């Protein structure tokens, strides 16, 4: 039986933030969300999350978590935090304890630690800069005999580069015994989980210290600088995965993923592209430089030209968007649609082959097939109180600089003359226009400057 305990009650003082530390994002998701994913991969019998500082905020961030929330009412250290979970854990269960601020650990690394044939196993790593981590102390036979926190370390101990990840595995019965024997006799006056190692060694228990191959997945984040390091590692992983899945990243280091992107093959992603939320890109999609794409699904061979911003967009065929287009939630584009520069589209369905090429606002609208929307067309969807719908049927041609005052309906194959303000429905197959007739003023002269 496997129980997992995640320690997430700490204040995270060093983060200097109103947001509890475990909710600080990496790749756009709370650190704790990453950890829950990793431990869920182990199919444990129960997950216990110890919360304290900002407990309500942390719980609210995980409405679907179906493990146990455990409350630590005072912040007395990692040992004290772990102890709060023990009453809910069977004596013969194995317990995996993890700090809540190390989001990059992989399931496979944890699984390997669980396979260790020892009574107490801990995961360590070699740090170029061990500052802030507990140092692993080994005897002449290379056996771990203690962990020394930075604050309590002698100058010599502080030089040790093997550091504690904070992850350990033990039998519940043993762990509960060590935890109740902990004393806060250290510089910070805390009950250190790490002191369990010394207690176990004193009992003659076999301790196994596993040095992780990839130190980067065990880094913790106590402050913003460490959080930035974790972010960089995470982004590296996301970029690598995109390339493994078949995407070309023209300047990989400048592509950011805050969420999850799935790509078909031969997708091309330009420099400085930001993805957020859930993004799906079909085969051969190209995303030009400087685009921001959020929660969108683009079908195969769609092209997003440079500096376009898309959110909540779905295409049902290959489309061309941009450069400099802004597509807002509820945009639905069919095969062959073109949305050009300085066009904003919101809550609108655009039918096969329709074009909105320049400087337009199309909001709360349904466009049929083969519609041509001229430059500077505006759907006047808002009367100051309510939003209204514009419908443009297939084959209609809207002349440049037209205002469509919604609610309004333009019939099939209708033509609207440039510069019109359309506030009544437009008949199909007709030319409608509201333009004032052009007139010539005979004998009019341009003003001239007074002669001095
Ligand atoms: C801890 C370890 C250190 C290790 C490092 C790895 C101890 C004493 N030290 O130090 O050896 O190298 O992690 O990143 O264990 N927490 C609680 N309640 C508390 C205190 C902390 O739930 O009373 C939680 C925190 O929210 C955090 C985790 O425990 O998620 C670790 O606490 P933190 O303060 O980050 O410990 P470190 O100083 O990083
Ligand atoms: Mg920490």
The domain segmentation of the chain, as residue ranges, is 2-218, 238-432
Closest ligand to C-alpha of residue 54 is 1
CA distances from 238 to 29, 204, 219, 287, 295 (A): 13, 44, 17, 17, 16
Provide the CATH topology of domain 238-432: UDP N-Acetylglucosamine Acyltransferase; domain 1 (2.160.10)
Q: Which residues approach ligand 1 with their CB closer than 6 A?
A: 7-10, 21-22, 50, 72, 75-78, 80-81, 99-102, 133-134, 147, 149, 163-166, 192-194, 220, 222
H or E element at residue 363: strand 361-367
Q: What is the pLDDT of residue 73?
A: 96
Which residues, including other chains, have CB under 8 Å from residue 218's CB and lie 6 or more apart?
Answer: 102, 104, 105, 109, 123, 125, 165, 167, 212
* Architecture of the domain defined by 2-218: Alpha-Beta Complex (3.90)
Atom of ligand 1 nearest to the CA of 133: 12
358 among known catalytic residues: yes
Ligand 1 atom 19: residue of nearest CA = 77
For tokens 């880094």, the residue is: 219
Closest ligand to C-alpha of residue 192 is 1
CA distances from 156 to 126, 149, 152 (A): 16, 13, 11
| Measured distance CA(198)–CA(204) in Å, rounded | 10
Q: What is the pLDDT of residue 11?
A: 82
- The beta-strand segments (E) located in 102-236 are 120-126, 135-138, 144-148, 162-171, 207-211
Q: What is the pLDDT of residue 452?
A: 78
Tens of pLDDT along the chain (452 residues) come to: 999 999 999 989 999 999 999 999 999 999 999 999 999 999 999 999 999 989 999 999 999 999 999 999 999 999 999 999 999 999 999 999 999 999 999 999 999 999 999 999 999 999 999 999 999 999 999 999 999 999 999 999 999 999 999 999 999 999 999 999 999 999 999 999 999 999 999 999 989 999 999 999 999 999 999 999 999 999 999 999 999 999 999 999 999 999 999 999 999 999 999 999 999 999 999 999 999 999 999 999 999 999 999 999 999 999 999 999 999 999 999 999 999 999 999 999 999 999 999 999 999 999 999 999 999 999 999 999 999 999 999 999 999 999 999 999 999 999 999 999 999 999 999 999 999 999 999 999 999 999 87
Q: What is the pLDDT of residue 349?
A: 98
Positive or negative, the CA dihedral 148, 151, 155, 161 is positive
| Measured distance CA(422)–CA(425) in Å, rounded | 8
């Amino acid at each position: 039986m496997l129980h997992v305990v995640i320690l997430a009650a700490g204040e995270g003082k060093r983060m200097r933030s109103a947001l509890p530390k475990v909710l600080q994002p990496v790749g756009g998701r709370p650190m704790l969300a990453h950890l829950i994913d990793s431990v869920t991969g182990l199919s444990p019998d129960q997950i216990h999350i110890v919360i304290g500082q900002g407990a309500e905020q942390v719980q609210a961030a995980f409405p679907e978590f179906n493990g146990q929330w455990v409350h630590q009412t005072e912040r007395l250290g990692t040992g004290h935090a772990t102890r709060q979970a023990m009453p809910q854990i069977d004596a013969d269960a194995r317990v995996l304890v993890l700090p809540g601020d190390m989001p990059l650990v992989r399931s496979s690394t944890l699984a390997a630690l669980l396979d260790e044939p020892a009574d107490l196993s801990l995961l360590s790593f070699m740090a170029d800069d061990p500052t802030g981590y507990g140092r692993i102390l080994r005897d002449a036979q290379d056996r771990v005999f203690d962990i020394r926190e930075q604050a309590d370390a002698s100058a010599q101990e502080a030089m040790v580069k093997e550091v504690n990840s904070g992850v350990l595995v033990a039998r519940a019965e043993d762990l509960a015994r060590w935890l109740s024997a902990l004393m806060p006799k250290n510089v910070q006056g805390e009950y250190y989980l790490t002191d369990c190692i010394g207690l176990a060694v004193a009992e003659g228990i076999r301790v196994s210290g596993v040095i992780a191959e990839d130190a980067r997945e065990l880094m913790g984040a106590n402050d913003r600088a460490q959080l930035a390091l974790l972010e960089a590692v995470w982004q590296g992983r996301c970029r690598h995965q995109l390339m493994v899945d078949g995407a070309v990243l023209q300047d990989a280091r400048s592509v950011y993923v805050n969420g999850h992107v799935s790509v078909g093959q031969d997708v091309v992603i330009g420099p400085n592209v930001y993805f957020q939320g859930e993004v799906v890109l079909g085969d051969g999609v190209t995303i030009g430089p400087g685009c921001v794409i959020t929660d969108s699904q683009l079908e195969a061979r769609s092209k997003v030209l440079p500096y376009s911003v898309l959110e909540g967009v779905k295409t049902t065929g290959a489309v061309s968007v941009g450069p400099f287009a802004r597509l807002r939630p509820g945009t639905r584009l069919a095969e062959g649609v073109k949305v050009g520069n300085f066009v904003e589209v919101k809550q609108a369905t655009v039918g096969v082959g329709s074009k909105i090429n320049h400087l337009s606002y199309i909001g709360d609208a349904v466009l049929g097939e083969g519609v041509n929307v001229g430059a500077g067309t505006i759907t006047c969807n808002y009367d100051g109180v309510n939003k209204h719908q514009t419908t443009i049927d297939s084959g209609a041609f809207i002349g440049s600089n037209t205002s469509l005052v919604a609610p309004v309906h333009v019939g099939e194959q209708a033509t609207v003359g440039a510069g019109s303000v359309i506030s009544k429905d437009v008949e199909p197959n007709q030319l409608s226009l509201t333009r004032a007739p052009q007139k010539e003023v005979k004998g009019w002269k341009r003003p001239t400057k007074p002669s001095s």
